Chain A
Amino acid sequence: MTWHSFFNMSTMEHRHLLMAYAVVLLVQAGYFGWTALNWFRLKRPRL
């Protein structure tokens, strides 16, 4: 498989393969981003 066929949207099989990989990366990156955002928003405690 190549980058070209990975982004091939002509068949349902290829669309679903691309969507599955996109879902995994987006959900994980989204959760990591949300955690990182809250980490930097919350000031380091003095205790």
Chain B
Amino acid sequence: MEQRTPSLRSVAWLWFGIALAVLIVGFRQAIFLTPTDAAQGDVGRIIYYHVPSAMMGLVFPYVNFVAALAYLYWRRRDPLRALAADALALAAAEVTVVFVSIGLLTGMLWGRAVWGIWWTWDARLTTYLLLWLLYVSYLLLRRFSSTGESHTLSAVLSVFAAVDVPIVYMSIRWWRTQHPAPVFGGDANSGMDKSMLPAFFWNLAGWAIWGIFILIFRFALERRRQIAEQEAALQAIEASLEIPQ
């Protein structure tokens, strides 16, 4: 363990540095190098941060989902492994809330400038807001439940919450929405202008690398907290055994 720590720390710093470098390139591409959108003007540059963040908000719920399933499987068979899975589920839920919050806020700022309204109850926006509410309720359940079964309850909730992800993804394909039609994987007229692709892909890569970094950092923090809690419990047991009867 002592030998692994320095190399893991180096990898973490390297990953952090790569994330920042890619994000700086992405910012430069999005703001300074990509031509202004003919239809939307400069406000169209919001999509280079909005779309990658919204996409990450649909990826991390699946990390939470898989970790929650692993927790439910291991909670009786291998409690220590279940604790690690629970820590990953918590980290993924928090990172999901961060990315979905950004997706909602940047979408509203874009909508007000382009549509003239902050919000509309169309299928994409409503299901995306529901996704945010589900993961916020997941975190609130973990924080305030006093049943002693909050980890199990939250794992079950995360299985149900993950169902909303494909609905969000398909909403602009299933229903007519105010939200723009799919840019990738849509009909024959869908797609992005070649001049916009570098800014989009640099930012997508940057926020994906950053998301993985912050997920692992938060997971490591939760593992540290769990181990500290176990240590404190062991010390309390040792202290109680030392009390003369």
Binding site for B on A (CB under 8 A): 1-2, 5-6, 12-14, 16-17, 19-21, 23-24, 27-28, 31-32, 35-36, 38-39, 42-47
When chains A and B are docked, how far (Å) is the Cα of A28 from the Cα of B20?
12
For residue B43, CB closer than 8 A to chain A, the reply is yes
Question: Is the CB–CB distance between A32 and B214 below 8 Å?
Answer: yes
Which of the candidate stretches B61-69, B132-140, B184-192, B218-226 sits at the interface with the other chain? Answer: B218-226
Partner of A45, one of B27, B31, B113, B227: B227
Contacts of B227 in A (CB 8 A): 45, 47
Q: In the complex, how many residue pairs between chain A and chain B have their CB atoms under 8 Å apart?
A: 87
A20 to B: closest C-beta gap in Å: 4
Stretch of B70-78, B101-109, B160-168 lying at the A interface: B101-109
* Segment with Cβ contacts to A, from B44-52, B121-129, B142-150, B173-181: B44-52
Complex interface: chain B residues within 8 A of A14 (CB):
42-43
Q: Are B221 and A38 in contact, with the CB atoms below 8 A?
A: yes
The reply to whether the CB of B154 lies closer than 8 angstroms to some CB of chain A is no
A20: chain B residues within 8 A (beta carbon): 46, 49-50, 105-106, 109-110
Chain A residue nearest to B226 in the complex (CB):
A45
A42 B221 Cβ-Cβ under 8 A: yes
Q: Is A46 within 8 A of B231, CB to CB?
A: yes
**Interface size counted on chain B using CB atoms at 8 A:** 34
- The contact of A24 among B36, B106, B110, B218, by CB within 8 Å, is B106
Q: CA–CA, A16 to B36, complex, Å?
A: 15
Do residues B231 and A16 form an inter-chain contact, with CB atoms below 8 A? no
Bound-state Cα–Cα, A47 to B1, Å: 10
Using CB atoms, name the residue of chain A closest to B53: A24
Partner of A19, one of B45, B109, B221: B109
Question: Does B120 interact with chain A (Cβ within 8 Å)?
Answer: no
Chain B residues near A6 (CB-CB < 8 A):
31
CB of B210 closer than 8 Å to a CB of A: yes
Known contacts A24-B102, A31-B94; decide if A43 and B228 are in contact (CB<8 Å): yes
Question: Whole-angstrom distance from the CB of B64 to the nearest CB of chain A?
Answer: 16
- Residue numbers in B under 8 Å from A28 (CB-CB): 98, 102, 210, 214
Known A20-B46, A20-B106; judge A12-B218 contact (CB<8 A).
no
How close is B205's CB to chain A, nearest CB, in angstroms? Answer: 15
- Using Cβ atoms and an 8 Å threshold, which residues of chain A touch B94? 31
